[in-house]
Chains A and B, each alone.
Chain A
């Protein structure tokens, strides 16, 4: 944990995201954005951990604030649309695109969809968003799924009443297909090519109504998703295989707020939680498939008293597996020094990891062993 850098920023951080690195350059990411919540005045801020002309040695690696901009309401979600544009979801229901002017180091509002999510006579928080430039999909407490295009003022598509409860997170499966998770433990697939307000598929753990808070798609395998729930459980699903998750692992002792596959090294996965911990999941396996994708077997290897899913799982996954699943081994490492305030968000890119907490600190690790 020596390589971890902590900075106190005087605001509770709800979201942290690395600015994408252009594929041509071999640089490590050096710019990230944060969003705050629960402040009287919330902000989005851009930080740099890169080299600066007048940087003293003592500030080495310490993130420097480049610019910030007032944000109406809590920042509920935040994503980079591209190198210059940032999309935020607000607790007021607004969806905003900010532009980061890198020459002058300023931020400005490029596009604002006010009250995109709303109740008949009140604001409804927008809880999550996902970008696939130029498309933006947002979800909210009002149960709507809305599709925007960055270059269009209007709304491209709204799925009214997509959910009777709150939708907590959304991710793209394919260019026309998104997956949402809600507060009664369901995963719903939506295909924008289909008209109507019905999901094309609903998955859920049978008999389980534990709210799901986050979802991330496997970077290479579009049908594999990871979800995290209120009970801190990590689930890996194959959306083609219905109601039984590939594996189910006890990860945290409270709400899991985010889960992320490593974008280039998919044997690694990261989760953070209300219990104040950030976990690094590493599967060392002989087969080419990470062990947490290998079904119920690995759960017995886990020291974290994992819960094995129902029987028959092995046969379900064996067709998908080519290698020997018994060789799978999963290791988890705590990434943060012990503290008890919620880790609300994390992002990982290359060897760099950034996370933000309710303890008003940003932690940065530039030597993640991946």
Chain B
């Protein structure tokens, strides 16, 4: 077994004294059930009654946050879109699409974050506000990591362009510069604002030279004496070469230009051109990439990765992806030495700079309390063909493992389970099995919900689950005395055994009441009638009553007889059928022909000779009544036979 990466955290369960009691637990797909056992450690004194509660321990609380639900829903949509790309675009050149999908994911995170922030500020409940605040900071970190992964792995920018992307990344996540700018610029005299120089330097640290120049002009007008110095810095800032990936300039040409500019800045420093103004001198030192000066701006930089990007901007603007990890590691060491050990976020980012995707995913899985982030990021990276070489010791592959975990979590939610279905669909190896096991456990409160679940199963040819859902619904209908509904459900499930059972109930009801219930259904069975023999009989028997009601006696008689001779009718029902034949035998005109009468007699004899006098249907009835019935029938049959012979003889004559 592998070693654990981090020490597991301990969760104390209120109400259970774990020093004296032993706990039992059961794994669930998302939650764990914990209960107190009666097991006693040897020597421990009996400590009274057992705690009567079963505790549900939930790892993932986020799934129950109403705002994060939007994240799950919106990202589901993007996820499904991403899976379709695979099929539609065969060419290798899908990068722009992947980048745009990555951006979509990030904008969803941002939208959620903003809403959470908004609510965190407006809520009055202190606890809730803290909770929202925590979620915001988690989302911030998530978006930061995602954005870096986008730049490094998906965009995979080459030297030159790489730094531009990293600059954008830092600018986006150091938004307090813009807030500060607003504050300074809206004040009466910006140049005298206490945060003025911080702002100017922050601009330079982020490589926003145009904005830096604009704000420096304000100071220059206040200090006419130093105009030359300001002018010089302005020129340096203006002349700073910026690589344009789409332009005609090659990276080498840019590098030459940049070196010239760098030397020029350096010369100005050597000349002591800015010696009389420490702020301008500091800016110029930043421009030449002086590390000590940069480290003096720790408070403005805020993070080691901002330091890293600024350092690259002014010392190694043509940094190659492969060199990144060296600068990242050293920047982190330089920046953090006074601040203690790196936090999880730091090591995740560092792993990203080292292009160790698996380490990034692993660390994120440990640090974050839900699977949303790793599942979606891994899926996207997998689509970019970045994860192929990796195999797990368990399950199929990393992507599928994470998606399954995420989707299983969704499935435990009373409402979000529908989203999980699409995730399972795109897990080729185990998705189907997971779905089969989970879908049967969705509680079905209404038929409409059952229909939705059925649709999911039918679209995926999950015959077993379709049968089981229909059976659940049929049983429920039967329990509630809704025979019609029960029959409809068993027809939909093609469940012959259950259809037989319900048909029996219909026939029993008929025998008890003398009328059929649910005629609208039975009259409309159509081909569904063929599902079970008993159902066929039910439909045919009803057809007989219809014909009889319409006084189409000839057809009715033929049908009645065929029900017995073709063995469609259950033997237990023959007596009822023969009794039904009585009024036909008693009609004035002859309905049953001689042959038919012989057959009826044969049926009656078969029934009585075998001593299976139909006691099933009339268990409480007197033997006498049965005998009388048989006698009556025999008499009627004999009379009919006589009439038929006479009639047929007459016709022949």
Contact = CB atoms under 8 A, between A and B. Distances in A.
A73 B517 CA distance: 31
B204 to A, nearest CB: 32
Interface string B484-497: 11001001000000
A165 B521 contact: yes
Given A8-B73, A209-B526, 20 more contacts: A39-B414, A76-B446, A141-B485, A142-B480, A164-B520, A165-B520, A166-B485, A186-B520, A186-B524, A209-B524, A209-B525, A209-B528, A254-B455, A254-B459, A339-B77, A341-B76, A341-B418, A341-B419, A359-B73, A359-B77
Nearest to B414: A40
18 contacts: A10-B69, A38-B415, A40-B414, A74-B445, A120-B481, A122-B479, A142-B480, A143-B482, A164-B518, A164-B519, A164-B521, A166-B447, A183-B447, A184-B484, A186-B524, A341-B76, A359-B76, A359-B419
User: Would you list the 3 A-B pairs with minimal beta carbon distance, nearest first?
Assistant: A164-B484, A164-B518, A119-B480
A110 B419 CA distance: 36
A37 B448 CA distance: 11
B455 A207 contact: no
Nearest to A339: B77
Given A10-B66, A143-B484, A254-B455, A125 B447 contact: yes
B447 A141 contact: yes
B485 A183 contact: yes
Nearest to A161: B517
Contacts of A122: 479-480
Contacts of A143: 482, 484-485
Nearest to A7: B70
B74 interface: yes
B639 interface: no
B391 interface: no
Given A143-B482, A359-B77, A184 B520 contact: yes
Given A74-B445, A184-B520, A254-B455, A165 B415 contact: no
B59 to A, nearest CB: 19
Chain A at the B interface: mostly helix, strand, loop or mixed? loop
Chain A: number of interface residues, binned into ranges: 35 or more
Instruction: Tell which of A38, A183, A342, A358 has the most Cβ of chain B within 10 Å.
Output: A38
Contacts of B518: 164
B338 interface: no
Contacts, number: 120
A360 B524 CA distance: 38
B449 interface: yes
B452 interface: yes
Interface string A1-34: 0000000101110000000000000000000000
A91 B422 CA distance: 27
A184 B488 contact: yes
Instruction: Tell which of A76, A165, A255 has the most Cβ of chain B within 10 Å.
Output: A165
A204 B524 contact: yes
B67 interface: yes
Nearest to B81: A338
B527 A127 contact: no
Nearest to A73: B445
B480 A120 contact: yes
A335 B85 CA distance: 22
B77 A165 contact: no
B451 interface: yes
A11 B418 CA distance: 12
Given A91-B445, A166-B447, A255-B455, A124 B480 contact: yes
B483 interface: yes
A125 B485 CA distance: 14
A161 B482 CA distance: 10
A164 B415 contact: no
Interface in A182-225: 183-186, 188, 202, 204, 207-209
Contacts of B422: 340
B80 interface: yes
Contact of B452 (A40, A186, A207, A342): A342
Nearest to B519: A164
Interface string B419-444: 10010000000000000000000000
Contacts of B449: 37-38, 74
A343 interface: no
Nearest to A357: B73
Contacts of B483: 164
Contacts of B415: 11-12, 38-40
Contacts of B525: 209
A209 B524 CA distance: 8
Interface string A262-279: 000000000000100000
A183 B488 contact: yes
Interface in A152-197: 161, 163-166, 183-186, 188
B452 A74 contact: no
A361 interface: yes
A291 B66 CA distance: 45
A119 B520 contact: no
B453 to A, nearest CB: 11
Nearest to B528: A209
Contacts of B77: 339, 359
B480 A38 contact: no
A125 B452 contact: no
A254 B447 CA distance: 16
A8 B115 CA distance: 12
Contacts of A255: 451, 455
Contacts of A39: 414-415
A208 B526 CA distance: 8
Contacts of A141: 446-447, 482, 485
Nearest to B525: A209
A358 B447 contact: no
Contacts of A166: 447, 485
A163 B451 CA distance: 19
Contacts of B448: 74, 76, 125, 127
B438 to A, nearest CB: 15
Interface string A348-370: 00000000001111000000000
Nearest to B73: A360
A207 B528 CA distance: 9
Given A39-B415, A165-B488, A119 B74 contact: no
B488 to A, nearest CB: 5
Contacts of B418: 12, 341, 358
A299 interface: no
B482 A119 contact: yes
A207 B482 contact: no
A151 to B, nearest CB: 29
Contacts of B459: 254
Contacts of B524: 184-186, 204, 209
Nearest to B520: A164
Interface in A104-147: 119-122, 124-125, 127, 141-143
A96 interface: no
Nearest to A122: B480
A230 interface: yes
A314 B236 CA distance: 85
A20 B304 CA distance: 59
Given A183-B447, A340-B80, A8 B480 contact: no
A47 B400 CA distance: 40
Contacts of A73: 445
Nearest to B108: A8
A340 B521 CA distance: 34
B521 A119 contact: no
A360 B417 CA distance: 12
B544 to A, nearest CB: 20
B485 A165 contact: yes
Nearest to B112: A8
Contacts of A202: 520
Nearest to A124: B480
B69 A360 contact: yes
Contacts of B480: 119-122, 124, 142
A8 B75 CA distance: 12
Nearest to A40: B414
